[in-house]
Amino acid sequence: MGAPAGDLYLRVVVRWHEFFERRGNDLYTKIPVTVSEATLGAKIEVPTIDGRSIVRIPPGTNSGNTLRLKEKGVPSARNGARGDQYVEIQVVVPLPTDERVRNLMKELERVAPADPRKDLFAKAGV
């Protein structure tokens, strides 16, 4: 009132967060899962900026696979449309702390042998 019209300039600083990484309106997180959850599939809770969400881990999920939670990111300052949240899966391998765990892992290798490096040298051209 009584002052001439003018421009208002704001400087907004987005602080670093220990868990969420922001890229534009999208958020990125890393979620640990057990070997059995990754192998068999599971429904797990993950943190979002709104609280918790249930995420379905498909059977056979590998470390590094990324799942998308639609519209769980940051609202746009322009139109309110929300970005997405991307959840990177990190499979946590247990330490073979006792003989039973070692035996179970050996049995798994025996009944379901897999060679993840089978085509490695062919792809590398070596």
Q: Per-residue pLDDT tens for 101-122?
A: 899 989 999 998 888 888 888 8
Q: List the CATH number of the domain containing 81.
A: 2.60.260.20
- In the chain, what is the straight-line distance between the N-terminal and C-terminal CA atoms, in Å? 77
pLDDT of 40 reads: 96
Supply the range of the domain harboring residue 29. Answer: 21-94
- Assess if residue 123 is contained within a domain: no
pLDDT of 16 reads: 84
- Which residue bears the tokens 């809770």? 45
**Residue 107: enclosing H or E segment and its boundaries?**
helix 99-111
User: Which residues are registered as beta bridge partners of 52?
Assistant: 47
- Assess if residue 66 is contained within a domain: yes
CA distance 49 to 21: 11
Q: CB of 60 within 8 A of CB of 37? A: no
Q: CB of 70 within 8 A of CB of 26? A: no
- Assess if residue 54 is contained within a domain: yes
